[in-house]
Structures are given as C-alpha cells and as structure tokens.
Amino acid sequence: MRAVLCAFCAIFLAALLVSCGGSSSSSSAPATSKFANKVFVSNSFQGFLNIIDADRDFLSPSFTVNLGGVPTRMFVSQDKSTTMVFDNRNNIIDTVDTATEARTSSINLGAPSESFLSTKDGKTGYVAVRNAFSTNGTPGVIEVLDIRGTNGITAAVPLTNVRFISSNHAVTKLLAFSDNSDVVNSIDLTATTLTAVPVPGTFSRPVAAYFSDDDSKAYILSCGVECGGTQAMVTELTLATGATRSVNVSTARVANLQGTTLYLAGTPSATDCNALAQPAVCGAVQKVDVTSMTASTAVPIGLGTHTVMQFAGNKVWIGAQNCLGGGCLSIYDPGSNAVSVDDPLGDVTSMTTIPRRDVIYVIEGGELRILSVATGAPTATQLDIIGAAYGVASVSN
C-alpha cells in the first residue's frame, strides 16, 4: 500500500511540474517553418515577413516574422544567415535570423535609406542615409551597424548627400554615390578608420557599380541625362591601379553583370529615344562587352524608373516603377533581341530567382507573381499575399 501511495505521489508531482512549466523537456521557442527552400516576402501593409516554401510554392499563415512598421526593401547576406529589412515608417533596419525566423536587432537610422548591404557573414551592415546629419553638419552619412549584436550604429562615415552604395563580393571595398554629383567615392572597409576617398575619372551622375567575379574591376554606371547629367556611360575601374576606361551608352540606371556581358536598362535621352523611333520618353536595354568595352545598339523596353534586374532562363528581367500606364515588367531575350512587356499590373519593386527551379518570383503591383523563366507566363500555382507585398528574397542556398 505504501509503495502504491508513493508511486501515486510521484505521478502527481510530475504532472504538477509539467503544468507549471517545470519540465526540462518543454520549450517555449516558437516553431519555425523548416522549409528547405525558403523565400521571405516583406508585407508592408501587415508589418511582417511572409515565409514561402519555394519548392512547393506554398504559403502558410502560420509562419511569419513579425516586425511592425512598414517593411520594404531587403538585403540577404551571402551566407544566407541574415536578412536586413528596412522599415519605411520608422526608418529602422530590422535584422532577421534566417534559421530561427526571428528578429535579432532593430536599429534606428534617423532618416530613410534606399541602399544597404552586409558583410558576407551577416554581422556588419553598411547603410547609405541621405538625410542623416554627420558631425560636420552636412546631410549624408554611411552608417556602420552591428546587426548581429547589441551595439547598434558603431561608426558613421560623412559623405554629403550619399544615396547609393555598392560593394565588391568580398565586402572589403565600398563605392558610394551621392545625389547631384559627378564624383564616385571609395571606402576601404579593412582600414582602422573608414574614410571616403574620391575615385579618379570622369563621371556623369554615377549611381551604382558592379564588380567582376574576381573583384579586380568595378563597372560604374553613369546615369547621365536621366539623373540630371549629360551622358550615360559605363566606366571600368581597375581596383589595383585606379586605371579607367569608358564607353558611352544610351542608358545606365540599373545593370546585371553576366561574365563579360553587362546588361543595362533605364530611360535614354530624348535624342536617343528618337533614334530608336520611340517617343521622347522611352525605356531601353543595352549590352556592353566589358572585354572590349563596346556597346550594342539599344533596344526599346517598357517605360518607368528601372530599378530591378535579374538574369534567369537566359533572359534579362527588368522591373520599373512609375510606368506611366505601360507594363512595368520587361523581359529581354539577348539571343533574339526580342522584348516582351508585361500587362500594366503596377510597379515592380522586387524579384528573385529560386534555387534549382525554372521560375522567378516577381512583386508587381503589391502582388506576388510566380512566372516561368522559359515563357514569362504565370505558372499554374499562384499565391495570394494578404496585404501589400514589396520585397521578395530567396534566403536558401
């Protein structure tokens, strides 16, 4: 009888411990999606990231990353460990751990940003903040963030009106671009004190740079007339020597480098549009052979401010905003020189290719569209994002 009573007491105490959270086997950690091929979608209306299983094109309302505010642009570190998300309401960079699907830091920038990136391991971030005031009293700083720790902004590099930044693959060199400026600034990220140093050369409203696979060269886009300058061009900068060579082009607002071919898109000057037998305002895509630094003839595409470009299925996918009633997604086939322009569904704000699949995810008019890279047509499975999608990023290798 005593043995039975002791056994009963033991069972009762064990149940009590479990009900009170005293069991060492219980866990309060939230469940993660465990999707092997994972995509984040920033939902600017709902204030969170939707998580998609990109192997199955499956969206579950059970899995989100709650951030608050208005999440928009995203940047994923090269090792896929960290995703930086810009909150457009509060001017905050939120950091999300890809594996745990949880926010790990939230850093107030003090002003909006359109351009940010991180080191390969996702531990340090660099953010161009056009309207934040530096110690010298002028607007414009590049803020250095401890995005995986608790130290927030660890340094700020003054650079008047800086708006865009580009880095090499090793993330040891930044090239920075300021509004209404014909100067490119370089920052050595390995230096003890980070300093912006002008790059020798002639530029016309430079806006971005794309680096060769071995990081020996940078191809700098001068936006030209579209951005208030005089001549669009591509300038090759040899990093070791500072030597440059340039080629004039019709347009250079956004680009994608594939081997020795640099694809360009943007809005040409009225003169160049007329030469293409287009209205005074038009869009165009163009190729530059970076070995010979020669440019092909431009080909007309859809209108708008072209800000997004991907290479998928041997085609160039170009996204634009403010498309003036035309289609915001242009698909260019370099082999045939043909262009198809999507129906006017709205601004294209982001797109991403999907590992091991022949589809591309495109955010168009606040909706996620899943398109075949072979045909450009929507696939049989389409997902309804409840809210307003803005950014999309593959976070799996």
pLDDT value at residue 339: 97
Return phi, psi of residue 116, to 5°.
-155, 160
For the ranges 17-21, 43-47, 192-196, 225-229, the lowest mean pLDDT is seen at 17-21
Question: What kind and span of H or E run contains 11?
Answer: helix 2-19
Any idea what the Cα angle at residue 234 is, between residues 233 and 238, rounded to 5°?
Answer: 145
How many CB atoms within 10 Å of residue 97?
17
How many CB atoms within 10 Å of residue 295?
20
> With 50 as the cut, is the pLDDT of residue 10 above it?
no
> With 50 as the cut, is the pLDDT of residue 11 above it?
no
Contact between 83 and 393 (Cβ < 8 Å):
yes
pLDDT average, residue stretch 9-30? 43
Contacts of 373 (CB under 8 A, 6+ apart): 312, 313, 315, 353, 358, 359, 360
Between CA 282 and CA 251 the distance in angstroms is: 11
Between CA 185 and CA 303 the distance in angstroms is: 30
Domain ranges in the chain? Answer: 200-346
pLDDT value at residue 148: 85
Between CA 395 and CA 80 the distance in angstroms is: 5
Q: 205-225: buried (b, 16+ CB within 10 Å) or exposed (e) per residue?
A: bbbbbbbbeeeebbbbbbbbb
Question: What kind and span of H or E run contains 278?
Answer: none
How many CB atoms within 10 Å of residue 276?
16
pLDDT value at residue 30: 67
pLDDT value at residue 267: 97
pLDDT value at residue 324: 77
pLDDT average, residue stretch 122-127? 97
Cα 172 to chain centroid, rounded: 19
> With 80 as the cut, is the pLDDT of residue 9 above it?
no
What mean pLDDT is reported for the chain? 92
Whole-number percent of the chain with pLDDT over 90: 87
> With 90 as the cut, is the pLDDT of residue 233 above it?
yes
| Residue whose entry in the numeric block shows the structure tokens 């287009």 | 278
pLDDT average, residue stretch 61-74? 96
Taking CA atoms, 354 is separated from 44, 61, 64, 157, 289, in Å, by: 22, 21, 19, 35, 27
Between CA 310 and CA 319 the distance in angstroms is: 9
pLDDT value at residue 295: 98
pLDDT value at residue 29: 58
> With 60 as the cut, is the pLDDT of residue 183 above it?
yes
Q: Please give the structure tokens belonging to residue 118.
A: 């991180």
Strand, helix or coil for residue 48: strand
> With 90 as the cut, is the pLDDT of residue 286 above it?
yes
Candidates 301, 298, 275; CA nearest to 288 is: 298
Return phi, psi of residue 212, to 5°.
-65, 160
> With 60 as the cut, is the pLDDT of residue 5 above it?
no
For the ranges 18-22, 246-250, 346-350, the lowest mean pLDDT is seen at 18-22
What is the CATH code for 200-346? Answer: 2.130.10.10
The identity of residue 148, as a single letter, is: R
pLDDT value at residue 31: 85
Q: Please give the structure tokens belonging to residue 217.
A: 């060269």
pLDDT band for position 20 (50/70/90)?
very low
pLDDT average, residue stretch 205-209? 98
For the ranges 233-242, 311-320, 325-334, the lowest mean pLDDT is seen at 325-334
Contacts of 109 (CB under 8 A, 6+ apart): 91, 92, 93, 127, 129, 132, 143, 153
Q: Please count the residues of the chain.
A: 397
pLDDT average, residue stretch 267-274? 96
For the ranges 182-191, 289-298, 320-329, 358-367, the lowest mean pLDDT is seen at 320-329
pLDDT value at residue 22: 39
pLDDT value at residue 343: 78
> With 90 as the cut, is the pLDDT of residue 163 above it?
yes
pLDDT value at residue 8: 40
Q: Please give the structure tokens belonging to residue 377.
A: 């047509």
| Residue whose entry in the numeric block shows the structure tokens 């830091």 | 105
Q: Within 13 Å, how many C-alpha atoms sit on residue 207's CB side?
A: 24
Could you tell me which residue, 337 or 10, shows the higher pLDDT? 337
The identity of residue 34, as a single letter, is: K
> With 60 as the cut, is the pLDDT of residue 309 above it?
yes
